[in-house]
Amino acid sequence: MSYRISVARAASLAALSVALLASPAAAEEGAGDPLTDIIVVTGTPERVTVDDIDPQEQPIVAPDAAGLVARSPGAALIDNGALSGQVQYRGSFGDRVLVRVNGQRFGSGGPNWMDPPLHYAPMVLVDHIELDRGVSPVSKGPGEAGGINAVLKQVGFASSATATPTADMGALYRSVDDSYAMGGIAGIASDTWRFGAMAAWEEGNDYRFPGGRAGSTSFERLTLGAHAGFRTGPGELSVEYRRQETGPTGNPPFAMDIIYFNGDFLRLGAKLDLSDRLTLESHLGHVAIRHLMDNNTLRPAPANLRATFAEADTTTADIALSLESGMGTLTLGGDLELGSKQVRITDPTNASFFLTSLNRVASDRYGAFLQWRGALGPVEAELGARVDQHGIRAAAPELGSAVPMGPRMLATAFAASDRDWSDSSYDLTARLWADLGAVRPRLTIARKTRAPSPLERFSWLPTEASAGLADGNIYVGNPNLKIEKMWVFEAGVDVETDSFYARPTVFYRRVDDFVQGVPFDSTPGVVNTTVEMVAAMNGDPTPLIWANVDAELYGVDMDFGAKLMGPLRMDGVASYTRGKRRDIADNLYRIAPPNIRLGLTYEGQGWSVTAEGQGVAKQGKVSASNGEAPSGGYVLANLYAGLDVMDGVRLDAGVENLFDKYYEEHLAGYNRVMGSDVPLGSRMPGTGRSGFVRVRVKY
Ligand SMILES: [Cu+2]
């Protein structure tokens, strides 16, 4: 079965034409490549485990690729700013979800995840996004709650020996924030070599909502890059480099905004067929991110000016050997990830006020895995196991002479403590399915782990840095944290006929040693420790400390659709997720409310029109531990149209939030910006009515 179809189905309304109505373009695309065959529902069983999301088939024009993934079953967007969106998948978010760009893992530059991984995948450059259904395979490295890989556009090998030029460009305009984006790739390739360059520029103003403008929500981002590949007989080499410069970009749910993120991404790849059954594949990568945020450039300055510099470096390497036999494919591999992080808080008006809340924190991880993909009679299977050895070491903090006594005492205590941690973890996955014609039952059982981040472990200074929770709480690290363990159970069925499809899944995820902020001591509110004193000075007398608790997540989600009559069809996505603590009676923080999306599409020859409705229930199951506010439900309406202008030219346009309805997404943060039309402390409103136009030219 084509996973292209499913994705298309999963998330797109426009794409569905392809799946169900077999447009000529689709037929052509499917003809050469069984992997992306969109007509015939047979094919590569591997793809049962992955959804491919094609942005071109999505009516999404916000700059953040996280919003694109959020249209998939079980997924949602955690909105912390125009370029700071995190993906929630079946109730998990942050670094519990393994997110990569072009297959590369890396550490975010900001301690509050102002740059979640998809910050480095501008929508105009995204070719497609692979979403692992349920859990990610062990071969992709550790990753607790599902995997996402944003694949950027690239010049591929041509089909002939003659050098062939190629280009893929896009541009869009969106009215709600007067934003535009333009970018793409161009290059030249033969069947043995390829070379390409990429560039993109995006810029937007503060967005409008019914009631005014949301202060500090503007953004700007530049991306430049080049890539090349070479292949000969049994071998293939690739190299890619990208530079991304994010300019001043607002983050209303945080105390600061982005001034810049400068990121350099380098990756080398090699693949060698040792025989017709044995393949060796390897990658080497390095990512360097430099970041500045402050509380006075984009928003009105408070009394105490702060500017924080942060850095993150990640070096990765992996190697895998695959052996194909009559018994399936066996892959054996190893990978490593070396990271370093630094966070330096400064006062721009006082050079002797500075302190490093994370100082030269070095992390390393070495892993090995074994994965088998084959069949046991009628049952198709992907089975995997991996082990990882983790280590994190933090240097003693550095402080300027103007730093007050409280933080100074905490720094001294931290410097005298054990700042070296190591432990090991193991992961197991079993993904089983069977092809029974139009029906495919699926079953996943897995044990996945997550090592607590350097921030959760060694953030000795009580601050609001929480990798993007944005709950306004002050957090302090806990050197005694244990590794999180998640048991994943999922069952589902994919049903596909000529005129109907549905892919429901029920899941249960049981997390032991779930890392969550808990009251710092047994007398919360009584300021009787240095941590509480420092936190109180910074506005929160009840700080939280990261701790291991027990949690569970469960729910059901599905995408579905049907051909109605003639050129009319219906498509939808529905998700329900519950997250609870098991050790106390409380809900998990920031869980998406039940929601459904329904679209009605009229498909013409080379054009289509879609009317879409989105219903979101209220969320009253909120986390008391995180001081989370409930939210109300709402219904939105959208209109989209697409037109194939000529061969290689596609035009899309639409209106989002057609009736200019005021609404607050449950997963949006609370406003921290003074002087905005959004009241302080109020949940950020969703965007008002917005028109968009998008064009893509492929040559
Ligand atoms: Cu930041």
Give 112 Cα–ligand 1 centroid separation in angstroms.
6
**Length, in residues, of the chain:** 699
Please tell me the distance between residue 524's alpha carbon and the centre of ligand 1 in angstroms: 28
Q: Nearest-CA neighbor of 66 among 51, 58, 76?
A: 76
Which DSSP category does 105 fall into? -
Checking if the pLDDT of 34 tops 60, the result is: no
Q: 656-666 pLDDT, tens per residue?
A: 999 999 999 99
How far apart CA 267 and CA 285 sit, in angstroms, is 4
- Residue 213 amino acid letter: R
**Measured in angstroms, how far is the CA atom of residue 291 from the centroid of ligand 1?**
7
**Stretch 72-91: mean pLDDT:** 92
Output the CA torsion 407→413→417→419 (10° steps). 10
Q: Find the 688 Cα to ligand 1 centroid distance in Å.
A: 27
What is the whole-number distance in angstroms between the Cα of residue 458 and the centre of ligand 1?
18
What average pLDDT score do residues 350-373 get? 95
| For residues 97-115, average pLDDT | 93
Domains in the chain: boundaries: 3-155+202-393+403-698
In this predicted structure, which of 10-19, 88-97, 172-181, 360-369 has the lowest mean pLDDT?
10-19
CA distance 84 to 469: 12
Q: What is the mean pLDDT of residues 349-364?
A: 94
Sign of the dihedral through C-alpha 622, 624, 626, 627:
positive
What is the per-residue pLDDT for 69?
86
- Confidence at residue 3, expressed as pLDDT on a 0 to 100 scale: 32
User: Residue 637 in contact with residue 686, Cβ under 8 Å?
Assistant: no
Which residues neighbour 646 within 8 Å (Cβ) at sequence distance 6 or greater?
none
Question: Residue 276 CB: number of other CB atoms within 10 A?
Answer: 8
Cα(462) to centroid of ligand 1, in Å?
A: 16
Give the mean pLDDT of the chain.
89
Please report the pLDDT score of residue 62 as a whole number.
76
Distance (angstroms) between ligand 1 centre and the Cα of 111 equals: 6
Whether the per-residue pLDDT at 47 is higher than 90: the answer is no
User: Ligand 1 center to residue 349 CA distance, Å?
Assistant: 19
Structure tokens at 226: 């080049």
310's tokens: 């942060």
Instruction: Report phi then psi at 653, rounded to 5.
Output: -150, 160
**Phi, psi dihedral angles at 410 (to 5 degrees):** -65, -40
- For residue 66, the CA-to-ligand 1 centroid distance in Å is 18
| pLDDT tier, 33 (very low <50, low <70, confident <90, very high otherwise) | very low
The stretch 477-505 carries a mean pLDDT of: 94
DSSP state for residue 629 in the 8-state scheme: P
Measured CA to CA, the distance from residue 7 to residue 16 in angstroms comes to: 9
Mean pLDDT of 88-100: 94
Instruction: Taking residues 604-633, report their average pLDDT.
Output: 94
Region 497-515 average pLDDT: 94
312 CB burial (10 A radius; 0-12, 13-18, 19+): buried
pLDDT score at 57: 67
What spacing in Å lies between the alpha carbon of 612 and ligand 1's midpoint?
A: 35
Expressed in angstroms and rounded, the spacing between residue 348 Cα and the centre of ligand 1 is: 16
The answer to whether residues 693 and 173 touch, using CB atoms and an 8 Å cutoff, is yes
Query: Which pair of tokens denotes residue 678?
Result: 């959004």
The strand pair at 147-152 and 98-101 is best described as parallel
- Cα 301 to middle of ligand 1, angstroms: 16
Average pLDDT over residues 233-247: 96
Ligand 1 centre distance from Cα of residue 108 (Å): 10
For the chain, the first-to-last Cα distance in angstroms comes to 29
Q: What is the CATH number of domain 3-155+202-393+403-698?
A: 2.40.170.20
What CA–CA distance (Å, rounded) separates 638 from 58? Answer: 13
CA of residue 290 to ligand 1 center, whole Å: 10
525 and 541 in contact (C-beta within 8 Å)?
A: yes
pTM (two decimals)? 0.90
* Distance from the alpha carbon of residue 605 to the mean position of ligand 1, in angstroms: 48
Q: Is the pLDDT of residue 493 over 80?
A: yes
Q: Is the pLDDT of residue 162 over 60?
A: yes
* Residue 670 identity (one-letter amino acid): Y
List, for residues 637-656, the tens digit of each pLDDT value.
Answer: 999 999 999 988 999 999 99
User: How far apart are the CA of 470 and the centre of ligand 1, in A?
Assistant: 12
Distance 579 CA to ligand 1 centre (A): 28
**Element holding 27 (H helix, E strand):** helix 24-32
Tens of pLDDT, residues 119-135: 999 999 988 888 888 88
How does residue 9 score in pLDDT terms, banded at 50, 70 and 90? very low
Token pair for 192: 């043995």
Give the mean pLDDT of 668-672.
93
How many A from CA of 289 to the centre of ligand 1? 11
The pLDDT, as a whole number, for residue 2 is 29
User: What is the three-class DSSP state of 26?
Assistant: helix
- Residues with Cβ within 8 Å of 337's Cβ and at least 6 positions away in sequence, in order, are 105, 141, 314, 315, 316, 363, 364, 365
466 C-alpha to center of ligand 1: Å? 11
Cα 258 to ligand 1 centre (Å): 6
Q: Are 384 and 428 in contact (CB under 8 A)?
A: yes
Dihedrals phi, psi of 349, to nearest 5 degrees = -100, 0
Give the model's pLDDT for residue 59.
Answer: 67
358 Cα to the center of ligand 1, angstroms: 13
For residue 88, the model assigns a pLDDT of: 94
The closest of 587, 671, 624, 626 to 473, measured between CA atoms, is: 626
Tell me how far the alpha carbon of residue 167 lies from the centroid of ligand 1, in angstroms. 35
How many angstroms separate the alpha carbon of residue 312 from the centre of ligand 1? 12
CA of 288 to the centre of ligand 1 (A): 15
pLDDT value of residue 691: 95
If one counts every other C-beta atom within 10 angstroms of the C-beta of residue 682, the result is 12
Percent of the chain with pLDDT over 70: 92
pLDDT digits (tens, 9 = 90+) for 295-312: 999 999 998 899 999 999
Return the pLDDT at 49. Answer: 66
Residue 25 has pLDDT above 70, yes or no: no
d(CA 113, CA 443): 33
Checking if the pLDDT of 672 tops 90, the result is yes
Conformation bin of residue 468: beta by default, left when phi > 0, alpha when psi is -120 to 50: left
- Label residue 56 by pLDDT band (50, 70, 90): low
- Averaged pLDDT for residues 280-289: 97
**What Rg, from alpha-carbon coordinates, does the chain have?**
25
- In this prediction, residues 257-266 reach a mean pLDDT of 97
Structure confidence at residue 48 as a pLDDT band (50, 70, 90)? low
Q: How confident is the model at residue 139 (pLDDT cuts 50, 70, 90)?
A: very high
CA atoms within 13 A on the CB side of 559: 21
